[in-house]
Structure 1
Amino acid sequence: MQREQGPLRILGERVRYYRKLKGLSQAELAKDICTQATISLIEKRNKVPSMNILMRLIGRLDITMDDIVVANHDSIQQSLSDTDKALRRGAYPQAAEFLAKVRSEKLTTEEDKRRFNYYSGMVELFAHKAPDEAIYYFGRVLTPMLVKDRDLLTIMATLGLGLAYAEKGTHERARVYIDQALALLHDAPFPEGRYLDVVITIFWHISRVFFELEEYAAVLTNVKTGIDFATKHDSLFLLDELYALQARAYDALADKRADENYQIAVALARVNHSPQLLAALETETSRRELA
């Protein structure tokens, strides 16, 4: 007798991914099918729509049901989704725990394999402090047979290579990959604002690398781009981290603007509920007051 399957679960992040791949806004995807609010609930809360709406959305996205719908017992997709969320928050040890639940041999699609390898690279780099292992996994994302020119994973894995080589102290090679990631981002056929958190994350990471290299002018250039992008779209995502880097760069240059930027960074860290950053900033400002 055939085993009865559990309830279906829609993968909201996958819907969002395919929507953006098509260059559609939520309103454009919803047009003549459902409301924009329905699309938002699907993407943010994994809300399963009616079968009629679901099939019409699948048709508009030019995908199959298997691309975005799984049985409730599909723990692999849940673990990948949890890993992604943890990485976006910078919770690297937690991301490592989620990713450890995924067995790579159970992954069936090339897209999921690329996601797994990218996540593995980030975990190795930031949770395990193993840049060589990170380089291996980022390289697998960029395997010529699998790479999709200028898609998000290509850009982020390229940046990941730059971050890993910077961690190794191989600065010239790091700069090559960072410049390549910036070029890919600049040329990417993504409508502005659709990849807000990814764009901000890229400039934050790049600024951190330049800070480690003590290239403070480059820090200020890239931080400003990230801040301008975030404020233009009314986003607080990583804004506290960006202002903190800007403050530190000004401080390293003995520029008086460091004071103002420290104040802004502290205020934003409180708003964003970033206790670790807030503690670090308070320590730094106390040290500066005593100097």
Structure 2
Amino acid sequence: MNIDVFIKRRKELKLSQVKLCEDICTQATLSKFENNGRVPSLTILNKLCARLGLMVDDLYQDSMASTAKIRDLLDRAEKELMMENYQTVIDILAKVKPEKIEFVPLKTQFYYLRGLLNALTNQKPVDIMFDFSQILDDLDDSHQSIFTQLAYLGSGVMYSREKQNDKADFYFSKIFDYIKENQEKTEVKEDKDNHYLRILTLIFFTAEYNASKGKIKISDELVKMGIDLCSEYHVTYYLPRLKLQAAQNAISDNKSTTEIERLMNEALAFAHINDNQVVEVRVAALRTQFEKNK
């Protein structure tokens, strides 16, 4: 990161540190950034740069090629994670060294992806919480970006798999409240290209969790919300899993055989489109169990 670009612009505008950081952060935070290279949270850095008429990317012009490569890798890993291609995600993340990432949003994305991957593959809780602590206690310590919610999500998944239901409930309740509050705000300035995909991640796993707790009505509400979002943005990554969850909910809710078959067929169709073999196997298993129990 070229902090000199930041300092030069501040001085060109004749802004003191006190004036620049007013209502954004403490002078100590700004001083540590300018003098010691201590990068503040993404939210604070965005606001400071905006006040100077800069974008955060402007501070990384000398390393844009490397930054672009890392961004491409992490975006690909994020999509593969949605498709449950965990080994592919492991291979991609192994190519990225977090200590070499200077761009705060990309470092935050890395820790989110590795933390959630570890939660979904039942790795050690201490390793999972380390990654999320990087976000919650440092990179997004003001808890203003969606990455805080994604860190809550990974924590909820981990505690759910550890059968610590009270802790899982705590995190998934916070996420559900966030989803409801932001239902009409699917685009934000922080990362409008990926934001709706991350909202889908929150929606899907919260729907899955509520279904596992027998809260089918809430799960159905979230599934519908997710399907509507997929339709709005013409994205199919989550449709196989959402349709499969809808089929499972329909079975739990004793819906008609016609509706259950339709949902299973739709889940299978979208799984074929997305080459999601995991969902294909799950649909086959669900269909077999459903036929056996009829």
TM (norm. structure 2) is: 0.67
Q: Does 1:103 align with 2:92?
A: no
Matches within 5 A, 1:95-174: 95-143=89-137, 146-174=140-168
Distance 2:262 2:245 in 1: 13
* Shift of residue 163, structure 1, vs aligned partner: 1.4
2-side partners of 1:87 and 1:67: how far apart? 29
Report the CA distance between 1:229 and its aligned residue.
2.4
What stretches of structure 2 of length at least 5 have no aligned partner?
1-41, 48-52
User: Superposed, which structure 2 residues align to 1:228-239 within 5 Å?
Assistant: 228-239=228-239
Q: Counterpart of 2:211 in 1: which secondary structure?
A: helix
Residues 187 and 251 from structure 1, CA distance in 2 versus in 1: closer, same or farther, beyond 3 angstroms?
closer
Going from structure 1 to structure 2, the CA distance change for 1:148 and 1:112 (only over 3 Å counts) comes to farther
Aligned to 1:284: 286
**Number of residue pairs the alignment of both structures matches:** 237
Distance in 1 between residues matched to 2:228 and 2:62, nearest whole Å = 34
Relative contact order (C-alpha < 8 Å, sep 6+): which is higher? 2
Distance 1:252 1:147, change over 3 A: same
Paired with 1:96 and 1:141, the residues of 2 have a C-alpha distance of 20
Counterpart for residue 221 of structure 2: 221
Shift of 1:188: 5.2
Q: Which amino acid aligns with 2:169?
A: R
Aligned to 2:64, the other structure's residue is in SS state strand
Using the TM superposition, name which of 67-76 and 236-245 deviates more: 67-76
Shift of 1:281: 0.8
Q: For residue 213 of structure 1, what is the amino acid of its counterpart?
A: K
Name whichever structure is richer in helix by fraction.
Answer: 2
Secondary structure of 2:236 counterpart: coil
Q: CA deviation at 1:107?
A: 3.1
What is aligned with 1:211?
A: 211
Segments of structure 1 that go 5 or more residues without pairing to the other structure are 1-16, 23-58
- The letter for the 1-side match of 2:266 is I
Q: Identify which range, 254-263 or 237-246, moves more after superposition.
A: 254-263
Matched, 1:89 2:83: yes
Cα deviation for residue 95 of structure 1 reads: 1.3
Output one character per residue of 1:37-62: Cα deviation in whole Å (capped at 9) or x when no partner.
xxxxxxxxxxxxxxxxxxxxxx7746
Correspondence for 1:250: 250
Deviations 1:11-36 (A, max 9, x none): xxxxxx99xx89xxxxxxxxxxxxxx
**CA–CA distance in structure 2, aligned partners of residues 150 and 73 of structure 1:** 23
Q: What is the identity, as a one-letter code, of the residue corresponding to 1:244?
A: L
Offset of residue 65 of structure 1? 5.4
Indicate the percent of aligned positions where both proteins have the same amino acid.
Answer: 18
State the superposition RMSD in angstroms: 3.3
* Matched residue type, 2:224: K
Distance 2:180 2:96 in 1: 33
Cα offset, 1:138, TM superposition:
1.4
Matches within 5 A, 1:168-207: 168-187=162-181, 191-192=185-186, 194=192, 195-207=195-207
Post-superposition, which runs of at least 4 consecutive aligned residues in structure 1 deviate over 6 A? none
Q: Is the 8 A contact 2:78 2:113 kept in 1?
A: yes
Partner-residue secondary structure (3-state), 1:71: helix
Task: Describe the superposition over 1:242-283 as per-residue Cα deviations: whole angstroms up to 9, x where unpaired.
Answer: 111011111123221323322222222223322221232123
- Is the deviation greater in 206-215 or in 139-148? 139-148
Shift of the alpha carbon at 1:64? 0.6
1:201 deviates by: 1.7
